[in-house]
Each structure stands twice: as C-alpha cells, then as structure tokens.
C-alpha cells in the first residue's frame, strides 16, 4: 500500500516539477552591499511612491536600524508610516493590525525591514491592501493571484529565510496551533536590498539559527526530486558560502564580509527552494514552531541531521556532491562516506553553536499530531528523496525526545 502511494506521489511530483519549471517567476531587483538599503530607498522614491508603509518589529526600531532608511526616504519626498507590531512567527491578528494602519494612512506601497517574520507579515499586508479576502482563505497555492498585491520592497536583517526572494509567507494561527503557508507568485517583492551592515548587531544565537535555516533551504532544495540545473547551482553556491562564513558570522558578528556573504547565501538558497521546494526538515520544524514556538531556524537545525540520516540511502550521491563542493570529507571518498561526512559537519556546527540535538519542549503525547501535520504539509508539495509513512515519521520524531 505504502509502495503504491509512493509510486503515485512520484508521478504527481514529476508533473509538479514540469509546472514549476514553466512558472513565470519574476525575481526582484537586488541591491547588494553595505549601504544598499539606502540605494533601495532611492529606488522606491524613483518609482513615484509617495506614501509607504514600513513593516518591522519593535526591536529593530529600538535598535535604530530603521533610522538611515527613514531619513533617506524623507529626503526623497516619501511619507513613511511605520507599523512595528510584528513579532516572531507573525499571527493573523498582527497582520490585520498592520492592514488597518496601511488603510488608515492611504499607503500605496509596502517596505519590509526585518527578519522573515517582518517580511512575511509585509507580504500578506501588501496582499490584503488589494483584497478583503480573509487571511485564512489565502492559505495554500495561488489564492492571491487574481487580486494581486501592493508593490512590496524588502530589506532582510537576518540571513536565513530568503523571504525577500520567495513566493511564500508563513502565518501563524494560534487558535489552530498551526502555521499557514501562503504561496503565490504575487508575493514576490519587486526589489530587495542585501545590506550586511544591518546584520552586525544580530545576536550570535539568532545568527546561528537563521544561518542553519538558510543551509536547510539549500540542502533540501538540492536533494529534492524537483531540483533543476539552475537550482542546483544556486544551492551549491549557497552551501559553499554558508560553510565558509557562518562560523565567522556567529563568532565575530562585526565581520562585515561574513555578514554580507551570509546575506547572499540566504538569498541564493531562497531562490533555490522557491523552485525546488523544501522537505521533511521543514515539514517537522514548522510543526515544532506551531506547537512550541521553537524559532524556525533552531527547529530546522535540530531536525536536519535526523532527516538526512533517514534520507541518505536515496540521496547519498547528492549529499556527496555538496560535501565535495565544500571540501568536506576524504578526497576520492565513496558517496556514502562523503554523505556521512557532510551530515557530521552539520552536527559539528550544531555543537559549535550550542544548538541542542534534542528538542526540550517535545512531548511524547504530541508526536502523533506532529507527524500527521508534517506528512500532511509535505504530501503534495515536497519532492523528498525518500518518503516517510506515519509510523516512520513518528519514530524519527521520537529520536528528538530528550528522554
Ligand atoms: N517566506 C519564506 O519563504 C520563509 C522561509 C523560511 C522561514 N520563514 C518564516 O520566517 C520566520 C522566521 O524569520 P527569521 O528567522 O528571520 O526571524 P524573525 O524575523 O522572527 O526574527 C528573530 C528575532 O531577531 C530579531 N532581529 C532580526 N534582525 C535583527 C538584527 N539585525 N539585529 C538584532 N535583532 C534582529 C528580531 O527582532 C526577532 O526578535 C518564521 O515565521 C518562518 O516560518 C519564511
Ligand atoms: Fe526555512
């Protein structure tokens, strides 16, 4: 029965891959380097936007991270309204509050400045600026397409989600204890700035967790059956940049070159997974986030080695390619050896970053619910190399119990 399901899923995924290949992605214009966020502000002004809603979180306002952009936009005649009510894993209520501010001030474009939470919230605020459709009804594939969104600009201040270059927004529904993925071509920002300077003050633990999120995007996109030649290139380049720079960015947050490289890596990994998709690491991590509020990157970092260990019999060649590209493992090693060396490097990074191997909050009684929700999320969109059945998924999650 399970073999039949897998056969059916493989055919479905092949059709899905052909459709993804033909989707008309409109990638944002990217400004890069120190000070590029100001360049983006000048670009926004040049588009003729007079009233812009800046979506962010209160912490970034307090840190003064928005000051330069505020001044630059004002200098160029743009009236800015700030909505800073976004919190990690933004909820429907936080987004609706932002929509009210947008409408009350007649804003005609949205600028997101922050981590994935602020960018995702801004995406949905920009969409709600064009339609009265309830957010819960936007969840799923292409539910925003015909109403469209207000023009959206993004400045990531973490290097992890790649949300500035993806067609996804993840919204939390605390009532249902679930995360709703909204996926639509219209959620793609029109332009974004990768400005490592804004990441200098990002605390080491968040740098580590968000960097591991970017690594998960690259690895899951690379081992996906939906991978294409162009997503492979992006994923390899992202993995190389992360392996070469994440440790430095964590240990020496003021190293601008490492920050800029991580920002680039996150962006490349975002493009890779936008087309190739993610896999079980994300499916399980999203549900840890929904149930226990585990930060997204941290959840991915914990789950990744377990899923790769389970998957490696079906993707050792792909993991070996990543290992070779990053000079990990023995030269001329066999695929299986190199795949193991790659997974071991991820565990080594976990140890260096003080990321636990088990999830403290995980409760045995919740495992059936988490497994069911993860398999449901993965079922029709994640082209994983090796499929899990319900029992397999539960037993994989059980390995993450502290006791
Ligand atoms: N849209 C997508 O494609 C996509 C992909 C992956 C994850 N996500 C979603 O993104 C969210 C996670 O985003 P995230 O990991 O970037 O974290 P985040 O946006 O939740 O931010 C985490 C914390 O870092 C702080 N912070 C951010 N930038 C800072 C800076 N430069 N200096 C100091 N503090 C700073 C924030 O104030 C916040 O407290 C989750 O909701 C996740 O589901 C979306
Ligand atoms: Fe992610």
Q: What is the DSSP string of 94-148?
A: HHHHHHHHHHHTT--EEEEEESHHHHHHHHHHHHHTT----GGGG-EESSSTTT-
Compute the half-sphere exposure of residue 184: CA atoms within 13 Å on the CB side of its CA.
Answer: 23
| Ligand 1 pocket test target in 89, 211, 296, 301 with most atoms within 8 Å of CB | 296
Angle, helices 204-223/280-292, rounded to nearest 10 degrees: 140
Domain match, 211 and 183 both? no
Handedness of CA 162, 168, 173, 178 (dihedral sign): negative
Total count of domains within the chain:
2
Report the candidate in 79, 22, 28 with the shortest Cα–Cα distance to residue 51.
Answer: 79
Q: Is the pTM of this model over 0.85?
A: yes
Q: Is residue 14 part of a domain?
A: no
Domain match, 245 and 311 both? yes
Q: Is residue 42 part of a domain?
A: yes
Q: Indicate whether residue 178 lines ligand 1 (CB < 6 A).
A: no
Q: Indicate whether residue 115 lines ligand 1 (CB < 6 A).
A: yes
What is the rounded distance in angstroms from the CA atom of residue 250 to the CA atom of residue 243? 12
| Ligand 1 pocket test target in 114, 199, 253, 381 with most atoms within 8 Å of CB | 114
Domain match, 215 and 192 both? no
Centroid of ligand 2 to alpha carbon of 333 (angstroms):
30
Per-residue pLDDT tens for 333-363? 999 999 999 999 999 999 999 999 999 999 9
CATH number of the CATH domain containing 64: 3.40.50.1970
CB 235 within 8 A of CB 219: yes
Domain match, 193 and 233 both? no
Per-residue pLDDT tens for 248-261? 999 999 999 999 99
Domain match, 237 and 345 both? yes
How confident is the model at residue 380, as a pLDDT? 75
Domain match, 252 and 356 both? yes
Q: Indicate whether residue 57 lines ligand 1 (CB < 6 A).
A: yes
What is the rounded distance in angstroms from the CA atom of residue 339 to the CA atom of residue 345? 10
Centroid of ligand 2 to alpha carbon of 394 (angstroms):
21
Which ligand 1 atom is nearest residue 123's CA?
1
Centroid of ligand 1 to alpha carbon of 119 (angstroms):
8
| Ligand 1 pocket test target in 61, 123, 206 with most atoms within 8 Å of CB | 206
- Among residues 199, 232, 263, which one ends one of the domains? 199
In order, the DSSP letters of 41-84 are: HHHHHHTT--EEEEE-BHHHHHTTTTHHHHHHHHHTT-EEEEE-
Q: Is residue 22 part of a domain?
A: no
Q: Is residue 349 part of a domain?
A: yes
Q: Whose C-alpha lies nearest to ligand 1, atom 12?
A: 116
In order, the DSSP letters of 330-388 are: -TT--HHHHHHHHHHHHHHHHHHTT--SS-TT--GGGHHHHHHHHHHHHTTT---SS--
Domain match, 157 and 210 both? no
Taken as a whole, the chain contains a residue count of 403
Q: Which two tokens stand for residue 337?
A: 């050896």
DSSP state of 32: E
Domain match, 234 and 135 both? no
Q: Is residue 321 part of a domain?
A: yes
Domain match, 214 and 167 both? no
Rg (CA), the chain: 20
Report the candidate in 299, 320, 104, 308 with the shortest Cα–Cα distance to residue 210.
Answer: 299
Q: Which two tokens stand for residue 239?
A: 């993995």
How confident is the model at residue 63, as a pLDDT? 95
Domain match, 70 and 180 both? yes
- Among residues 142, 169, 199, which one ends one of the domains? 199
CATH number of the CATH domain containing 314: 1.20.1090.10
Report the candidate in 150, 155, 182 with the shortest Cα–Cα distance to residue 168.
Answer: 182
Centroid of ligand 2 to alpha carbon of 297 (angstroms):
7
Handedness of CA 392, 349, 242, 316 (dihedral sign): negative
Domain that holds residue 66: 27-199
pLDDT in tens, the chain (403 residues): 667 677 666 766 666 666 677 777 899 999 999 999 999 999 999 999 999 999 999 999 999 999 999 999 999 999 999 999 999 999 999 999 999 999 999 999 999 999 999 999 999 999 999 999 999 999 988 898 788 999 999 999 999 999 999 999 999 988 887 888 899 999 999 999 999 999 999 999 999 999 999 999 999 999 999 999 999 999 999 999 999 999 999 999 999 999 999 999 999 999 999 999 999 999 999 999 999 999 999 999 999 999 999 999 999 999 999 999 999 999 999 999 999 999 999 999 999 999 999 999 999 999 999 999 999 998 878 899 999 999 999 999 999 999 7
Q: Is residue 11 part of a domain?
A: no
Centroid of ligand 1 to alpha carbon of 88 (angstroms):
6
- Among residues 169, 199, 229, which one ends one of the domains? 199
Which ligand 1 atom is nearest residue 88's CA?
20
- Pairing type for strands 168-173 and 178-183 reads antiparallel
What is the rounded distance in angstroms from the CA atom of residue 231 to the CA atom of residue 221? 7
Domain match, 256 and 175 both? no
Report the candidate in 147, 165, 145, 146 with the shortest Cα–Cα distance to residue 155.
Answer: 165
Domain match, 187 and 234 both? no
Q: Is residue 242 part of a domain?
A: yes
In order, the DSSP letters of 45-56 are: HHTT--EEEEE-
Q: Is residue 262 part of a domain?
A: yes
């Amino acid at each position: 029965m399970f073999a039949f399901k897998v056969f059916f899923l493989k055919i479905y995924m092949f059709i899905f891959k052909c459709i993804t290949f033909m989707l008309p992605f409109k990638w944002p214009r990217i400004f890069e380097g120190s000070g590029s966020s100001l360049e983006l502000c000048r670009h926004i002004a040049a588009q003729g936007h007079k009233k812009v809603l800046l979506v962010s979180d209160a912490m970034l306002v307090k840190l003064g991270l928005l000051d330069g952009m505020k001044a630059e936009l004002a200098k160029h005649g743009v009236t800015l309204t700030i909505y800073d009510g976004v919190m990690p894993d933004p909820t429907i209520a936080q987004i609706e509050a932002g929509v009210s501010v947008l409408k009350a001030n007649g804003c005609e474009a949205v600028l997101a400045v922050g981590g994935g939470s602020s960018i995702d919230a801004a995406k949905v605020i920009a969409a709600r600026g064009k339609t009265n459709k309830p957010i819960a009804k936007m969840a799923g594939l292409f539910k925003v397409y015909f109403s469209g969104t207000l023009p959206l600009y993004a400045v990531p201040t973490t290097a992890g989600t790649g949300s500035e270059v993806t067609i996804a927004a993840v919204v939390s529904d605390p009532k249902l204890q679930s995360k709703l993925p909204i996926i639509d071509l219209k959620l793609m920002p029109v332009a974004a700035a990768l400005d490592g300077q804004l990441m200098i003050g990002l605390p080491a633990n968040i740098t580590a967790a968000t960097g591991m999120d970017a690594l998960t995007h690259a690895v899951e996109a690379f081992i996906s059956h939906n991978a294409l030649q162009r997503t492979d290139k992006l994923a390899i380049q992202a993995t190389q940049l992360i392996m070469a720079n994440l440790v430095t960015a964590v240990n020496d947050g003021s190293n601008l070159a490492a920050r800029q490289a991580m920002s680039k890596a996150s962006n490349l990994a975002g493009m890779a997974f936008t087309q190739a998709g993610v896999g079980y690491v994300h499916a399980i991590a999203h549900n840890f986030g929904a149930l226990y509020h585990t930060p997204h990157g941290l959840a991915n970092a914990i789950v990744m080695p377990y899923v790769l260990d389970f998957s490696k019999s079906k993707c050792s060649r792909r993991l070996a390619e990543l290992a070779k590209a990053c000079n990990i493992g023995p030269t001329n090693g066999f695929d299986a050896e190199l795949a193991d060396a790659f997974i071991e490097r991820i565990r080594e990074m976990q140890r260096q970053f003080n990321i636990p191997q088990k999830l403290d909050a995980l409760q045995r009684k919740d495992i059936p619910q988490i497994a069911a929700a993860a398999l449901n999320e993965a079922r029709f969109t994640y082209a994983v190399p090796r499929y899990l059945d319900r029992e397999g998924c539960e037993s994989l999650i059980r390995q993450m119990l502290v006791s």
